[in-house]
Structure 1
Amino acid sequence: MDPQEYRDARWYALLRAATDLGVDPEEAPALVQRLLDEQRRAIRRADDPDPLVHAALRDAVLGPPLSGHRPRWPGVAALAAALAVVGVVVALTRPEEPLPDRLRGDQVPSLFGYDGADARSALEARGFRVTLQPTRDCEVYGRVVASDPPPGTAYDRGDRITVYTSIPADVVCLNDYQDRATAWQLLDFANGRGPAPEFADRVFVYAGGAAPVVLDGTAARDPDAWAGTGVLEGLRAASDQVGLVDEHPLTYAIPAIRITRTDEGIGACGVPEPSVAGTGDAFAVLVRSPDRTGCPVRLDVFRDGDAILAVAYYPAS
């Protein structure tokens, strides 16, 4: 395969894989580019370079550091937890001074949380000529994982854009696939881009330390019934964030989600001991800000079979 074609198609997925392994987002581009340069001959000889490039990436991060250089990413123990991270598009650089975080109408929008069909509709409404390109990635099938040009790029009506959508093609992608699928259903529901996920006959909503709100299954499927809880509003606000991280070239970061256990991070960011239900069929969705600082929006999801019976919401700070 041509090395440049492989880089163009897989750049953002490789950046995400590096950060999922625990590499600082600031260092990920340099690390990925170095690996691609080192693997050019092997990539050219391979019909599918993905396995060898990902293996080289894992070796670079998890293997022994080069002599005389101290790695700036976490150790192996911390990296084991990071393997459950779910991300979309990550920051390439960060500015020395804070800059305004917004996109104008003549810039490529953030596609965080979109699937391919919704992304096509939204972009065509702006005048883009859209190509959907499936690509291997450990994300729920059909979810947008990158675009070319990326978010924040200035455009004119009639410009072409390629939107890369996920095809899970590795058995490791199945580890928390259903949890990720449910998380995206909740985000689609909050953002008005999809129906409600499956809810139990009664749904307990814990938000902001207030007394729980109890919704019956029919009411839970109505976004208006969630008004006052702050849950859907918080998820929408977190989804809409962007961060300007470099002006030359113009580079923006967008949110990412992470799936983890409800008993992970107890005590951090004001999250109490789980008390809604057992954690055997439960998971936490973390919607991380573009700059990955502070405490993310967190939604603990408790299920009975496939039906959601309770959620506990913790706003970002």
Structure 2
Amino acid sequence: MDVEDYRAARRTRLAELARSLGVPASEAEQVVDRVIEAQRRRIARADDPDDVVVPALREEVLGGRPRRTSAVIVGFAAVVLAAFAVGVVTTGDERPQVERPQVDRDDGTDGRTPTVPSLLGLTADEAAAALGSAHIALRVVSVPQCNPAEQVLGSVPPMGTALTGDDVVTVIATSSPTWTCPDDAGTRDTAWAFLRYVVTGSARPDFAAGVRLFVDGERVGVVDGTEPGALPQWRSAVRDPVVQYVARPAPNDLGQPIVAVTRAAGDRTTCGRPSARPSGVTAAVTRLVLTAGGDAPGAGCGLTIDLFEDARGAVAAVALATPALGRSLGPPPWVRPSGRGWSRTARRGPS
């Protein structure tokens, strides 16, 4: 494909994606242009240039395989470095970020080497409680983002790292930015609440009375929207695949899958697979894409969660598009596995 034709056709939509990842509106198009220029040769050879550009844009904004930190997120590199040098750090608006109490790890570890767990789907306070219960010392650093405040983005050192001696884990979490965000706060609140509902059960979006579940385009059943996510069908179709995916080692600076939230008309395919097309829902879809990345085939296609709403705005259908999950560290320690194990295969229910 001609690169300039692609730029003209997709620049606006890609800039919207950049803003959804936390890039200030005034910088979004420049970031997109920089990514397109860097990927010019791959775009020209690609069957679908979005498969090249979208993952590259996420890596540019949130950090990718080269294990560097993007300058686009305000203060990210400076904040992480400062976290190792001082006990109190400041965000871009110079308000002090209070350090969480450090836990004495000598008490109750029985000589075992603690490992940084997956923190995706937790708030900063939940991450502090989880690490504290594992006798891991921590501090929390805020990074401005157009997402609900206090959502954990990752940690330094990253998930899966064995800790020794007096190591302290720096938890990187969102804070409210000083710039103007897109008018989609409700969409982001729903998306992150759903992720927390699935991973920890500590939040809950507004569900319809009956929620239809789809996996890779196929309807697998209906669950009661008033019941907790511990229902067997919630676990097998949604919770187990999501928890397994967030526990994957992620080769980026955040140490965990990158989360992108968008709201747009639903696509007919997701990473080459037919998308779910439920009836009786609004045209716009809230989409979460969790991208762990890596070198495996299809690694650029993350785990996709589409939330479909009914006329009153309640989530009436949930659809997963599941990539090859690959190696996992297993579920986070605060999530109890179901009796059937952490399988990505959904239990087929009534259609």
TM-score range normalised by the length of the shorter chain: 0.5 to 0.7
Aligned to 2:256: 254
8 Å contact from structure 1 (residues 207, 229) kept in 2: no
**Structure 1 residue 229, shift from structure 2 partner:** 4.6
TM-score by length of 2: 0.57
- Give the distance between the partners of 1:136 and 1:156, measured in 2 at CA: 30
8 Å contact from structure 2 (residues 147, 174) kept in 1: yes
- 1:309 aligned counterpart, secondary structure: strand
- Give the distance between the partners of 1:172 and 1:74, measured in 2 at CA: 32
Q: Does 1:173 align with 2:144?
A: no
Aligned to 2:231: 224
User: Against the structure 1 CA distance between its residues 253 and 269, is the aligned structure 2 distance closer, same or farther, given a 3 Å change threshold?
Assistant: farther
- 1:218 aligned counterpart, secondary structure: coil
Select 1:125's aligned residue among 133, 140, 155: 133
Aligned to 1:238: 245
Aligned to 1:302: 308
Aligned to 1:24: none
8 Å contact from structure 1 (residues 92, 253) kept in 2: no
- Give the distance between the partners of 2:29 and 2:149, measured in 1 at CA: 24
User: Against the structure 1 CA distance between its residues 65 and 156, is the aligned structure 2 distance closer, same or farther, given a 3 Å change threshold?
Assistant: closer
Alignment of structure 1 residues 12-161 onto 2, 5 Å:
55=27, 59=30, 62=33, 71=40, 90-92=64-66, 106-156=114-164, 158-161=166-169
- Give the distance between the partners of 2:313 and 2:31, measured in 1 at CA: 39
Aligned to 2:267: 264
- Give the distance between the partners of 1:185 and 1:132, measured in 2 at CA: 21
8 Å contact from structure 2 (residues 214, 276) kept in 1: no
**Structure 1 residue 81, shift from structure 2 partner:** 7.0
Identity among equivalent pairs (%): 22
8 Å contact from structure 1 (residues 301, 311) kept in 2: yes
- Give the distance between the partners of 2:170 and 2:58, measured in 1 at CA: 25
- 1:223 aligned counterpart, secondary structure: coil
**Structure 1 residue 121, shift from structure 2 partner:** 1.2
Structure 1 residue runs without a partner (length 5+): 1-17, 22-49, 95-103, 246-250
How many residues are aligned here? 253
User: Against the structure 1 CA distance between its residues 72 and 136, is the aligned structure 2 distance closer, same or farther, given a 3 Å change threshold?
Assistant: farther
Aligned to 2:287: 284
- Give the distance between the partners of 2:39 and 2:306, measured in 1 at CA: 36
- Give the distance between the partners of 1:244 and 1:63, measured in 2 at CA: 22
- Give the distance between the partners of 2:35 and 2:130, measured in 1 at CA: 45
Alignment of structure 1 residues 203-218 onto 2, 5 Å:
203-208=211-216, 210-218=218-226
User: Against the structure 1 CA distance between its residues 150 and 231, is the aligned structure 2 distance closer, same or farther, given a 3 Å change threshold?
Assistant: closer
Structure 2 residue runs without a partner (length 5+): 1-14, 69-111, 325-351
Select 1:183's aligned residue among 182, 191, 196: 191
8 Å contact from structure 2 (residues 217, 275) kept in 1: no
Once superposed, what is the RMSD of the aligned Cα atoms? 4.4
User: Against the structure 1 CA distance between its residues 65 and 286, is the aligned structure 2 distance closer, same or farther, given a 3 Å change threshold?
Assistant: closer
**Structure 1 residue 156, shift from structure 2 partner:** 2.4
User: Against the structure 1 CA distance between its residues 206 and 120, is the aligned structure 2 distance closer, same or farther, given a 3 Å change threshold?
Assistant: same
8 Å contact from structure 1 (residues 285, 299) kept in 2: yes
**Structure 1 residue 120, shift from structure 2 partner:** 0.8
- Give the distance between the partners of 1:182 and 1:130, measured in 2 at CA: 28
User: Against the structure 1 CA distance between its residues 105 and 263, is the aligned structure 2 distance closer, same or farther, given a 3 Å change threshold?
Assistant: farther
Q: Deviations over 1:43-102 (max 9, x none)?
A: xxxxxxx97xx84x9646526999xx9856869x969978996986643359xxxxxxxx
Aligned to 1:35: none
- Give the distance between the partners of 2:115 and 2:207, measured in 1 at CA: 37
8 Å contact from structure 2 (residues 213, 317) kept in 1: yes
TM-score by length of 1: 0.62
Q: Deviations over 1:102-156 (max 9, x none)?
A: xx95443332222101111122223333222223223321112243334444422
- 1:181 aligned counterpart, secondary structure: helix
